Amino acid sequence: MTFRVCFVCTGNICRSPMAEHVFRARVEEAGLSALVEVDSAGTDGWHEGDPADPRTVHVLQEGGYTSDHTARQFRREWFARLDLVIALDAGHERTLRRMAALPEEAEKIHLLRSYDPAAGDDLDVPDPYYGDMDGFEECLRMVEAASDGLLVAVRDAVNSPAV
């Protein structure tokens, strides 16, 4: 059975596609590609059909990651097929929790930086959209740090016997 992870930010052109590509690389490096599916979406549909922000593409490529992406909006009905819904900040988490119709759906929602022990209480990945390249580079560092802990959690879930 495939384990499905979806990263969610606002417009699905900066943070969530960055997290998607970084985490997909972690999954591939761990040899879990056949077991784990990774994608992303936005809470809003402003950029549906658009590619990732050029600055996101730049930092991903500079980091050695893939960057092909088309933005889309998260849909409530996706909860049924997803195992984890990873919010990039507390605003996205609140929006997703409002969308969740069942307690089991809400239990799937987590903040990305909650998987980074060094994050402390600062669990938001700041939106780099209105800033310069430094913001995108910092976003990438945060995403990379949290992806390692997320991979441990996903590996444990994939390897645990079904109940």
Residue 147 host element (H or E): helix 133-159
Beta pairing partners, 7: 40, 86
Q: Which of 102, 153, 116, 24 is nearest to 125 (CA)?
A: 116
Residue with tokens 């990438």: 140
Q: Give the confidence band of 162 by pLDDT, cuts at 50, 70, 90.
A: low
CB 125 within 8 A of CB 150: no
Q: Supply the residues annotated as catalytic.
A: 9, 15, 127
pTM of the model: 0.96
Out of 3.60.15.10, 3.40.50.300, 3.40.50.970, 3.40.50.2300, the CATH code matching 3-159 is 3.40.50.2300
Work out the percent of the chain whose per-residue pLDDT is above 70: 99
Over residues 98-117, the pLDDT tens digits come to: 999 999 999 999 999 999 99
**Tokens read off for 159:** 């390897």
Residue 97 host element (H or E): helix 90-99
Q: Which of 26, 31, 63 is nearest to 151 (CA)?
A: 26
Over residues 56-91, the pLDDT tens digits come to: 999 999 999 999 999 999 999 999 999 999 999 999
What type of residue is 115? Y
Where along the chain do its domains lie? Answer: 3-159
